[in-house]
């Protein structure tokens, strides 16, 4: 076997910082499959893509009775990777799911519920995925606001009303039991009572307000 001296082995000066950032990312993300996640992390860096890193460590959610493998943190990772594309090949999403070691059954279930095939709208896929960690349609919309907002954690979680309406209409379409008149009543109430005074923005406290018409059937 060839023998290399220390003089022959060149270590880039930035290597220690690369390892430090990798260690911080691993601690924050807490991947269930470290090997697969590490490969995805360095592959993303090499390709100039967004690496699969959580913004912060997540504590277990007591209200989530069944471990679906999905969390808000993981969905945020996926959203950062796909949000700029709009439409994404389904197999590309599947590859990212595998990188994060999310159970294949969860991916298959989301695909079946959404009727996805070929290229899919990322926001539609995200919406269906969000229902897997939510208790109701309203809870899904709350979590969508929390994921998409530019507000700091613990603040109002505002998002543009036009964007919120798309998510609500899509969820109502998936539900199948919400009348168009009910959807319009909700939208009109929010637009006239809150959004007009909030520069076109909406946050969860608006649509869970006691005076807001029911979002669900």
Question: What is the distance between the alpha carbons of residues 94 and 32, in angstroms, rounded to a whole number?
Answer: 17
The backbone torsions φ and ψ at residue 100, rounded to the nearest 5 degrees and listed phi first, read: -90, 5
Question: What pLDDT score was predicted for residue 57?
Answer: 67
| Predicted local distance difference test score (pLDDT) of residue 2 | 60
Enclosing H/E stretch for 114 = helix 104-114
Average pLDDT of the chain is: 87
Model confidence pLDDT, tens digit, residues 164-201: 999 999 999 999 999 999 999 999 999 999 999 999 99
Look up residue 44 and give its two tokens: 């993303």
User: Rounded to two decimals, what is the model's pTM?
Assistant: 0.76
Name the percent of the chain lying above pLDDT 70.
89
Instruction: Report pLDDT for 58.
Output: 63
pLDDT at 29: 76
* Of 13-17, 119-123, 194-198, minimum mean pLDDT range: 13-17
Position 85 pLDDT exceeds 60: yes
């Amino acid at each position: 076997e060839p023998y290399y001296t220390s003089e022959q082995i060149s270590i880039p000066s930035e290597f220690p910082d690369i390892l430090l950032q990798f260690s911080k990312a691993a601690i924050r993300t807490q991947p269930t499959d470290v090997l697969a996640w590490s490969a995805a992390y360095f592959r993303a860096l090499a390709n100039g893509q967004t690496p699969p890193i959580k913004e912060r460590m997540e504590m277990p959610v007591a209200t989530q009775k069944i471990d679906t493998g999905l969390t808000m943190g993981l969905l945020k990772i996926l959203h950062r990777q796909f949000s700029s594309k709009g439409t994404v090949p389904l197999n590309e999403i599947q590859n990212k799911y595998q990188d994060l070691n999310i159970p294949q059954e969860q991916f298959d279930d989301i695909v079946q519920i959404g009727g996805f095939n070929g290229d899919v709208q990322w926001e539609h896929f995200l919406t269906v995925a969000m229902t897997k960690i939510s208790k109701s349609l309203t809870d899904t919309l709350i979590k969508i606001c929390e994921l998409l907002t530019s507000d700091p954690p613990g603040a109002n979680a505002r998002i543009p009303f036009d964007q919120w309406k798309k998510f609500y209409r899509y969820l109502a379409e998936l539900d199948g039991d919400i009348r168009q008149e009910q959807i319009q009543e909700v939208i009109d109430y929010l637009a006239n009572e809150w959004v007009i005074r909030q520069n076109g923005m909406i946050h969860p406290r608006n649509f869970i307000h006691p005076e807001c018409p029911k979002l669900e059937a």
